[in-house]
Each structure stands twice: as C-alpha cells, then as structure tokens.
C-alpha cells in the first residue's frame, strides 16, 4: 500500500463506485433535522480530518470574507460539515483582518504566518540569474513573472504547503482563493466522498497555460522519471498531457517490469489548481516531495515561472492512477476568466450561473504573444477521453 493511501472508510459509507456513493449516501442530501440522531452522531464522529485552506494577504480582507461566506452558504454551514479554516500569510495578520474573517464563519479558524524556511528565495538560487530571468519573462509578457511574491507563492503551493505544521493533523484540504464565486449548492460532503472512494485529487477545470512560463519543466520531469522509474505508478496514464498521444503507436514499453514511457511533448494542459480538493498525505508522500525537490533544486521556480498548477498536474499524472482523480463537474465555480457551471438538470444545485460548455475558455490564459501549438481538443476532453473526443458536425457529440 502506498503511504498516501487514505484511511479505510467506514463500512456504512463504502460503495462500489463513486457514482454509486453519490446516489446511495442520501443522508448527505437530507435536512439535518430529518436524520435520525444516532446516524447524525455517527456522521459527526466519522467526519474526515479536513480543512479549508487559503493563502491570503491582509489587503485581500474583503475578497476573503466574500469567498468564506460563499463556501459557508453553499457547503460548510451544515452541522455534519463545519470544517476548520486555516489561513496562511507570509506576514502577520492584522486585527482587522482576523475580526472580519472570523465573523464570516461559525467553524474554527486558524491564522498562520508562514516561516522564513518556506517563504524565501533558497540559497542555491543564483541572484543574478534570477533577476535576468524575471526581467526577461516579464518583458515578453509572462503573467506576474516580475513579482517575487508570485514565484514564492507558486513554490509554496507546489510542495511546501502540505508540510506546514498547522496542517499536520489533517488528511484532506480544499483550496479557496479570495474573490471567487461558488455558484451552486454542494449537497454532499466532498471530503467523505474523497475518503470513501479512495480519491486523492479533485478538480473542476482543466486549462491550457502559457508555455513560456516553464520552458524547462517537461524536460526536468522526464529526467526525474528516468532517474526514478520505481516511483512512477504502474497504472499512471499521462497521455492526455502530451501532444498527439491519442493516435496509435504513441505508447512504448521498455525494460523488465516496465513502466509506461510515453513519446511526445507536454501540451501544457493542467488542472486549474485555484480550485482543488486533495489528499495532504499524497502531497507529503515520498513520490511528490522527491519530484518537488528535484524541480526546486534546479532553481526554476525563480529562473522561470514554474506554477503550482502544472507541477500538481504532472505529479498527479505520474503517481496516481486515473481512478484516484475526480472531475467535480457539479461544483459551480468562477474565478476571473475561468468558470465551471454544471448542467442545471443535476438535482438540488440551485445554481446562479449559466451552464458552461466543457470547452469553455480552456485557453483563455494563453496570451496572443505565445505562439505555442494548442492541442486538437480541449484539456478536459483529453482527460475524459473516449466519446468526448468524437466530433459530429460542428460540435462534439457528448457533453456533461
């Protein structure tokens, strides 16, 4: 068993498939006052060790209050939920911030300052090369490449966040950003769903990013795979992340007890990590931390603009079988240019948004100046695979 396997779910919650779990765990959908007290007590006692987390500045007070109020109203204010909030900042939180945010939830909330060991440019990074790289990427239009704080944030979320001492008592996290919209009700406990179905990573958008941000990332990832073939999961399937891998002959096998080795180049698809629900044990695992350290020691979080989204995506792709990754199509979410609004036919969502097509804005984060080759299909269709890649007339045959 991998060290990041979650605890075994209680037998009353186990189901053969995630979809069966969603349909059979009807206590998740009922008003609390209609649930027998014995069942309610068991639900609360059996609650996963999970937290809602955010990295936020004091200046984002209003935006953080807005996001917390939405998560509370759409999900967390249910008696069987009430998960802790853990907010991180690289500076001390102000009294005003803590008072305003604390009043937005009835759950416990912790305010944590990130230590210097997790929030500084490492000693092995060459300062001159860093400044040249930052100036160059900023000059060609790579978003936020000139901001030191953005490089530090990407590095922290790529691997260090899971090692924060305040999170040691938790198995699961849900990342929440300031100023986001949660546009639909979430009528089940997403953390129980993850735990009971042995899912380690959940997302609700897959997008294309600016390839100029991380020109060396794929090469360094391939080097890591060659040096550590024993770490790559035997069931890993990274085809959706590579150009033209849905054509015959794109997978080759080599060596005794072979691991999948996939020809091709990274297509720059990634899970949109501003919304993600995941296993902290996975991100603390030897596999992920070894990969993160391999990238970190290269200095490329600073020489380039490695983002946490592609790092998480490639890590999940290498170390998890696809069955342990879940597409939360039913969670309505909007952040800037990126939006997921589920079909309103799904029961009980009470959405305040217009249903988005699967292909909605998948390349919006790629500026015109970036001449990268875009995949033939949108990133989410590549991940879904199968019938989602078949075209008919002017549109795809299948949507969800």
Least confident of 1-15, 31-45, 47-61, 203-217: 1-15
Has residue 267 got a pLDDT over 90? Answer: yes
346 and 330 Cβ atoms separated by less than 8 Å: yes
Tell me the average pLDDT across 350-369: 83
Higher pLDDT, 21 or 312: 312
Does residue 282 have a pLDDT over 90?
yes
CA distance 60 to 39: 40
Pairing of strands 333-335, 269-271: unpaired
**Quick check: 205 and 271 in contact, CB under 8 A?**
yes
d(CA 376, CA 357): 16
Q: Which helix (H) or strand (E) holds 152?
A: helix 148-155
What is the residue-averaged pLDDT of the chain? 88
pLDDT above 70 covers a percentage of the chain that reads: 86
User: How many other C-beta atoms are found inside a 10 Å radius of the C-beta of residue 371?
Assistant: 8
**DSSP state letters, 239-295:** GGGBTTTTSTT-EEEETTTTEEEE-S-B--EEE-TTSEEEEHHHHHSHHHHHHHHHH
pLDDT at 28 over 90: no
Per-residue confidence (pLDDT) for residue 260, from 0 to 100: 44
Q: Is 111 in a helix, a strand, or coil?
A: strand
Name the pLDDT band for 362 (thresholds 50, 70, 90): confident
Contact indicator for 331, 184 with CB cutoff of 8 Å: yes
Considering just the CA atoms, what is the radius of gyration of the chain in Å? 21
Confidence at residue 371, expressed as pLDDT on a 0 to 100 scale: 76
Considering only CA atoms, which of 358, 187, 207, 325 is closest in space to residue 268? 207
Mean pLDDT lowest among 68-72, 79-83, 130-134, 372-376: 372-376
Is 60 a known active-site residue? Answer: no
Residue 253 confidence (pLDDT): 43
* pLDDT at residue 4, as a whole number: 60
pLDDT confidence of residue 38: 75
Q: What is the pLDDT of residue 261?
A: 47
Identify which of 29-38, 62-71, 187-196, 340-349 has the greatest average pLDDT.
62-71
Query: How confident is residue 392, by pLDDT bands cut at 50, 70 and 90?
Result: very low
Under 8 Å CB-to-CB from 329, ≥6 apart: which residues? 204, 340, 342, 400
Q: Where are the domains of the chain?
A: 18-396
- Residue 396: pLDDT above 90? no
Name the pairing type of β-strands 50-55 and 172-175. parallel
List, edge to edge, every strand of the sheet that includes 333-335: 181-182, 333-335, 338-340
* Residue from 60, 164, 177, 276 carrying the catalytic annotation: 276
SS3 at position 53: strand
User: pLDDT tens, 225-255?
Assistant: 999 999 999 999 999 999 876 554 444 444 4
**Predicted structure pTM score:** 0.90
Q: How far is CA 55 from CA 110, 306, 383, in A?
A: 12, 18, 28
Element (H, E) at 396: strand 395-396
Lowest average pLDDT, out of 79-83, 300-304, 307-311, 370-374, goes to: 370-374
Q: What is the pLDDT of residue 366?
A: 78
Residue 92 has pLDDT above 90, yes or no: yes
Structure tokens at 39: 């069942």
**What CATH number should be reported for the domain whose range is 18-396?**
3.90.550.10
User: In this structure, what is the dihedral angle of CA atoms 324, 329, 333, 339, given to the nearest 10 degrees?
Assistant: 110
């Amino acid at each position: 068993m991998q060290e990041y396997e979650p605890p075994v779910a209680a037998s009353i919650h186990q189901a053969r498939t995630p979809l069966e779990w969603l349909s059979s765990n009807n206590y998740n959908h009922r008003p609390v006052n209609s649930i027998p007290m014995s069942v309610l007590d068991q639900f609360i006692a059996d609650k996963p060790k999970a937290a809602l987390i955010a990295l936020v500045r004091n200046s984002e007070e209003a935006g953080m209050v807005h996001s917390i109020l939405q998560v509370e109203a759409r999900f967390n204010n249910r008696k069987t939920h009430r998960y802790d909030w853990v907010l991180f900042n690289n500076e001390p939180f102000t009294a005003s911030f803590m008072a305003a945010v604390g009043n937005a939830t009835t759950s416990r909330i912790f305010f944590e300052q990130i230590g210097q060991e997790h929030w500084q440019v490492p000693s092995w990074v060459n300062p001159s090369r860093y400044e040249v790289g930052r100036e160059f990427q900023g000059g060609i239009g790579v978003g936020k490449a000139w901001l030191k704080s953005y490089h530090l944030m990407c590095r922290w979320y790529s691997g260090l966040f899971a090692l924060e001492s305040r999170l040691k008592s938790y198995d699961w996290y849900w990342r929440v950003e300031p100023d986001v919209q949660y546009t639909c009700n979430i009528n089940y406990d997403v953390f129980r769903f993850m735990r009971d179905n042995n899912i380690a990573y959940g997302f609700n958008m897959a997008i294309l990013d600016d390839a100029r941000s991380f020109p060396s990332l794929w090469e360094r990832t391939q080097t890591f795979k060659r040096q550590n073939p024993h770490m790559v999961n035997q069931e890993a399937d990274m085809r959706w992340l590579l150009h033209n891998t849905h054509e015959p002959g794109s997978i080759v096998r080599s060596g005794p007890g072979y691991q999948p080795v996939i020809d091709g180049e990274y297509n720059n698809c990634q899970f949109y990590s501003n919304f993600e629900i995941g296993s902290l044990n996975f991100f603390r695992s030897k596999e992920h931390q070894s990969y993160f350290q391999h990238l970190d020691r290269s200095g490329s979080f600073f020489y380039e603009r490695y983002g946490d989204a592609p790092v998480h995506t490639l890590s999940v792709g290498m170390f998890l079988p696809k069955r342990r990754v879940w597409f939360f199509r039913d969670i309505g979410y909007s952040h800037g240019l990126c939006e997921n609004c589920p079909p309103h036919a799904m029961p009980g969502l009470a959405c305040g948004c217009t249903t988005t097509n699967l292909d909605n804005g998948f390349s919006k984060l790629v500026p015109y100046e970036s001449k990268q080759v875009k995949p033939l299909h949108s990133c989410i269709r590549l991940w879904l695979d199968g019938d989602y890649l078949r075209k008919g007339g002017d549109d795809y045959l299948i949507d969800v």
